[in-house]
Structure 1
Amino acid sequence: MNIDLQPVTIENWYACTQLKVKPEQLALFPASVVYWIAESKYASDFELRAIYSESLLVGFLVFCTKPDPDNNYWIPALMIDEKHQGKGYGKAALKTLIQLMSKGNSNGTRIMIGHRPDNQIAGTLYESLGFMQVSRELIDGEIIRLFQIGQA
């Protein structure tokens, strides 16, 4: 599967805003793409990417380009449009993102991602890629998972 993570630009931002999760997933992914685009204008370390398979826009993600004080790089958002879920795009996009985030980062760099406890599909996906649960306690209502660059 060929996945391309393209920057969100003036040419594709509106198409990105049209991406939607299934109605029953709104509680699992409450922030819309519009929210992330707006927040990125004020959070200087957010990088937005449109997820394409060939020339088809299938999803959207946000990652941090600077580490937090504990040297963790965060992925605040990953979503696949409702019409394209269950086809492997999320897994392929995460693999591509891990490669991108690994460039220039040494072994030992940590990538963090969270998901709501009810989002078992996300939990299973992240675990399949090597994201291990950090603690049993929820942080901001989410299960936090860690991927160590150089471990896989």
Structure 2
Amino acid sequence: MEPHLNRRDVLLTSLLAALPLTPTGVAASPLNPAQTIVKATDVLQWETQPSFPPGSADICPLTGNSSAPGLYFVLIRWHPGYMSAPHTYTTDRFCVVVSGVWWVNSGADFDPASCVRAPAGSFVHRVAGTPHYDGVIRSQNEPAVIAICGTGPVNFALTDPSGLPWRKV
């Protein structure tokens, strides 16, 4: 004998199938937006770096402020053909390349040809007080997005204060 489902059974089955269940089979509690804050990519606010030309580098602050005391976390998007000029910070920075290829180097002598390739997934630790520069070389097809975390204030300082903070390469 074949079982027949009535309308109530079909509706109840659909409702139960839609419930979020934990591995134990118990219904899970809904996400509390006050406890778990989710910012989908379509709501992230990208801004042109204030002292950089449009189309060179963008920043997306996620939490905190690199100019203020405390933890900060930002996304930086470098477009092909632009790099930072050699500079330092007074605090360490911890960077993960999210997408694209980021080109990095140490030292006060700007030499893009000597940069090291850091592809997506790479971790880069910028040690406080050491000069460095970075960006995306012109021949790359896409921007690089880098997640940067550290403790502020970073006190950004150019190694040559008479120059611009960016370089076209």
Higher strand share: 2
TM-score by length of 2: 0.28
Higher helix share: 1
Which has the larger Rg? 2
TM-score by length of 1: 0.30
